Amino acid sequence: MLLPFYDKLAKLVNDARDTVGIRPFRWPPLIAGITLLFLAYVFFPAQVAASLSLALFLAPLWLPFLLVGGAFTLWLVYIRSEFIATRPYVLLEIKLPRNLVKTPLAMETVLSSIHYTKGESNWFQIYWQGQVRPYWSLEIASFEGEIHFFVWTRADFRKLVENAFYSQYPGVQMVEAMDYTRTISAEPGEWGVWGCDYKHTQPIDAYPIKTYVEYGLDKTQKEPEQVDPFASIVEFMGSIGKHQYFWLQFIIRVHAGEKYNKKNEKGKRFTWRDQALEEVDKIRRETTRKFKYFDSASGKMIETEGFPNPTKGQSETIAAIERNVSKLAFDVGGRGVYIAEPKHFNPTFITGMISLFKAFNSEGWNGVKATHFGMEFSDYPWEFGNERRKDAFRRQIVQAFRRRQYFHEPFAMDNAMVMSTEEIATVFHVPSSTVATPGLRRIQSPTAEAPPDLPV
């Protein structure tokens, strides 16, 4: 942002809300602009009046550009919304087999199979037809402690998703299910609602979270020796009681660099691989030390740079970043919603939601943490209208979950994570039989078609 003191003003607005409960406007650029205009008018009234008169006189030159830009943005929102709304969608439930010994590597292969970019091949598809890259929602839902796994997809990609899962998990069943988010109203007053989004703990997406590889799950182990951090999520979801529900989703699409909104040195869209190159180069520069030596020929002390000499930790960080970005990448929007009947609403469950992904966090690298979905309220006595604002945000996050929207209006978010297939497979995969949470229902036996050569 080019406005002077913008960062300080934005921090002041957030601090005022969080520390003393004063809620100024939520648009720091507007506040900064009005403040600057007011100060300029106080000290230089004649110059400001002349500038405004000149701007009004030249309006026929600059106003059309402003209007065209705004109209183009609204056009994109309209045609993309129409495209998304007119596609048929299907929710597939993953029925888990009783005996499953697959590692998260199988899920990583599934994700690689749906790394699909069709839909944004040319300007006509993007700017006239409003087509968007396909996106999927990987979901886990707990209904009063009973856990179910789902995949939400466009109907024309159903076979693609089913084939990807069946190829890696032959024992599972993919069954079309009713949308569970529509089975209860989740209306504030009738239900207690709390929700949040999830984002990276580090601003650099190229830093990986603690994946299943660090836990040794990339290799087949004996069941008693397996340590699957995903089990902590499943166990947490199975711990809720009667009249309580918890929904968790990861909305994913192929990463193409929209998040960074800039170009790289080659003039192409900046992606997380470019971010990784910058970060690795930064680490290497930090490990390069300057040293001095006496040059006998010139009789002077000469200062020069030596070779990079990273510590073991820095070398491991570089290796982890390079391994992470060498894999296929998705934009990922994480979201969790807790819903319960008012008399059964358990506030301590919110603490568990906030720390849900602690097992995947690493101090030196990256992690996943809860972030506000507008539900940042301190409840000071002078914060009038808080309950009304809370109800509005509760409705909003439930609608965002139901519509599986994260990258497009009206629920476009700016804190999406960029994650590799390895990272996503760590936080969402079909759990093996070592995860024995009571609420995790499994089918008694796999089903399959009859052999084609069976005599009749």
Q: Which of 8-22, 40-54, 239-253, 262-276 has the lowest mean pLDDT?
A: 8-22
Residues 255 and 304 in one domain: no
Q: What is the dihedral of CA 387, 389, 393, 396, to 10 degrees?
A: 120
Residues 243 and 359 in one domain: yes
- Of the candidates 115, 116, 134, the one whose C-alpha atom is nearest the C-alpha of residue 327 is 115
Residues 201 and 337 in one domain: yes
- Share in percent of the chain as helix, strand, coil (round to 5): 40, 20, 40
Query: Does residue 392 sit within a domain?
Result: yes
Residues 367 and 348 in one domain: yes
Residue 327 DSSP one-character state = S
pLDDT at 295 over 50: yes
Query: Does residue 456 sit within a domain?
Result: no
pLDDT at 223 over 60: no
Residues 292 and 203 in one domain: no
Unique residue bearing structure tokens 């409840």: 379
Q: Which domain holds residue 11?
A: 6-18+27-57
Confidence at 448, pLDDT banded by 50, 70, 90: low
Give the highest mean pLDDT range of 130-144, 358-372, 403-417.
130-144
Query: Does residue 301 sit within a domain?
Result: yes
Residues 186 and 118 in one domain: yes
pLDDT digits 0-9 by tens, 86-110? 999 999 999 988 887 788 999 999 9
Query: Does residue 448 sit within a domain?
Result: no
Number of independent structural domains in the chain: 3
Residues 424 and 312 in one domain: no
- Between CA 195 and CA 286 the distance in angstroms is 40
Percent of the chain with pLDDT over 70: 82
Residues 160 and 210 in one domain: yes
316, 350, 382 - which closes a domain:
316
Residues 310 and 334 in one domain: no
Between 59-85 and 45-57, two packed helices, what is the crossing angle to 10 degrees? 70
pLDDT at 304 over 70: no
pLDDT digits 0-9 by tens, 109-160? 999 999 988 878 788 888 888 889 999 999 999 999 999 999 999 999 999 9
Q: Is-cis flag, bond preceding 410, omega within 30?
A: yes
Q: Are 332 and 424 in contact (CB under 8 A)?
A: yes
Report the pLDDT value the prediction gives residue 1, as an integer from 0 to 100: 45
Report the pLDDT value the prediction gives residue 296, as an integer from 0 to 100: 66
Please state, as a whole number, how many other Cβ atoms lie within 10 Å of the Cβ of residue 275.
22
The helix/strand/coil state of 419 is strand
Confidence at 262, pLDDT banded by 50, 70, 90: confident
- pTM of this structure: 0.83
pLDDT digits 0-9 by tens, 4-37? 555 666 667 666 665 665 665 556 667 777 888 8
Q: What is the mean pLDDT of residues 357-373?
A: 87
Query: Does residue 74 sit within a domain?
Result: no
Residues 299 and 335 in one domain: no
Report the pLDDT value the prediction gives residue 305, as an integer from 0 to 100: 64
Query: Does residue 77 sit within a domain?
Result: no
Query: Does residue 51 sit within a domain?
Result: yes
Residues 46 and 152 in one domain: no
Q: What is the mean pLDDT of residues 158-163?
A: 94
Residues 329 and 383 in one domain: yes
